[in-house]
Amino acid sequence: MKLSDLAHLIKKINYSSLSKIILFLSLSLLCVELTYRIYLFGINAFNYEKVNSMAVFTRTGFVRASEYPGVLYELKPNLRSHFKMAKFETNSQGLCDKEYQIKTDPGITRIVIIGSSFSMGSGVEIDEIYHSILEERLNSGLSGKRYEVINFAVAGYNLDMMLATLRYKALGYEPDLVVVSLTPFTHTSFFTLEKYHQPYQVHEKVNPFFRSFIYDTLLYPRLNTRRFKYKVTETDEIEARTRKVFRELYELSKEHNFKVVTLGLNKDPLKRDPYDLEKRLSKSYGFHFIDTKSFFINYDPSALAISKTDGHPNALAHSLFAEALYEGLSEFNLLNIGHGTY
């Protein structure tokens, strides 16, 4: 055998071995990814639509640019889809809620919720969100009084965007009570406005089905820890912007004759209280602050999340939020309010 023939044979064997190694590694990684998906989602790991529902909210195709100053983006109307594995629907006004008339009938007490992903109901269906549970409980009472609890929350909103939503959208529904829903992440989302172009440019829709959940949920957060924290030097700006929102909220409440409740959604009572500033501001402006954490003392936090890698509140957590809100409204005697009762 010639030397050239031997070299050719060795090269052929090497290429063949390399191809087999690459194929083996690819199949192994695919099996690991599939096993991890089954661990996360069970049988839904094979459901194309539901796996795609795990996209970042602004890349789901559910939002559009808003015409209102400061709102930035809003939900599209009449959506029928899934988000974080649960049914996701919006009404004709682009609210994650059932249909309501903009002008209410006499005798109905209206409560509006402004908030972000916890209140929008990420990973739960509309009738499982705390505002729906609260409305059902209020209307099941023996007093005969009727209530409407309307949800204006949108994932990713900060206090600036919540206030703009109240000013340009929710006030048209003539609320008697406004619930400002806070999460432990409300402060960090203050910088949402700086992340996007104005006017808002809709992000391209993504398909997580073809992405790696091992990378997205395990590796990426660890490799980009700075991305998920705000700088210490930004705390002064956070406080200034929070104070500004509360001042303008107070002015709106006087101008449009509604009461204000600030709701601290907290499902882990062992962690540091994230709402010290909001509690102080609420007291100074005469708002009532309701903290939900005492209702979660006897629960394991892992049993209150929608999935193993996503801490958004599940249906059980929402039922406890609803209970806390109901008890707080009762304690502060805010269930008998209505137009003309101030």
Cα dihedral 173, 179, 180, 181 sign = negative
Q: What are phi and psi of 123, to 5 degrees?
A: 90, 5
- Distance (Å, whole) CA 161 – CA 158: 5
Mean of per-residue pLDDT scores for the chain:
87
What's 80-138 look like in SS3? Answer: EEEECCEEEECCCCCCCCCCCCCCCCCCEEEEEEECCHHHHCCCCCHHHCHHHHHHHHH
Residue 221 has pLDDT above 80, yes or no: no
pLDDT of residue 338: 65
* pLDDT recorded at residue 167: 98
Q: Which DSSP string corresponds to 228-272?
A: GS--GGGHHHHHHHHHHHHHHHHHHHHHHT-EEEEEE--S-TTSP
Instruction: Please count the residues of the chain.
Output: 342
Residue 123 near residue 310 (C-beta atoms within 8 A) = yes
Q: Is the pLDDT of residue 342 over 50?
A: no
Q: How far apart are CA 109 and CA 100, in angstroms?
A: 13
pLDDT at 272: 80
Residue 39 vs residue 233, higher pLDDT = 39
Give the chain's end-to-end CA distance (angstroms, integer). Answer: 103
Residue 313 carries which DSSP code? B
C-alpha distance from residue 29 to each of 21, 32, 211, 215, 338 (Å): 12, 5, 12, 12, 60
Q: How does pLDDT run across 243-256, given as a tens digit for each residue? A: 999 999 999 999 99
Between residues 208 and 124, the one the model is more confident about: 124
- According to DSSP, residue 275 is labeled -
Whether the pLDDT of residue 238 is over 50: the answer is yes
Q: How much is the pLDDT for 6?
A: 47
Give 336 or 311, the one with higher predicted confidence.
311
The model's pLDDT over 61-91, given as tens digits with 9 standing for 90+, comes to: 999 999 999 899 999 999 999 999 999 999 9
pLDDT above 70 as % of the chain: 86
Pick the range with the lowest mean pLDDT from 89-98, 208-217, 246-255, 273-282.
208-217
Q: What is the DSSP letter of 61?
A: T
| More reliable by pLDDT, 231 or 319 | 319
Q: Is the pLDDT of residue 177 over 90?
A: yes
Render 1-48 in DSSP notation, one character per residue: --HHHHHHHHHHHHHHHHHHHHHHHHHHHHHHHHHHHHHHHGGGGG-H
What's the pLDDT score for residue 175?
Answer: 97
Query: Is 3 or 107 the better-scoring residue by pLDDT?
Result: 107
pLDDT at 224: 60
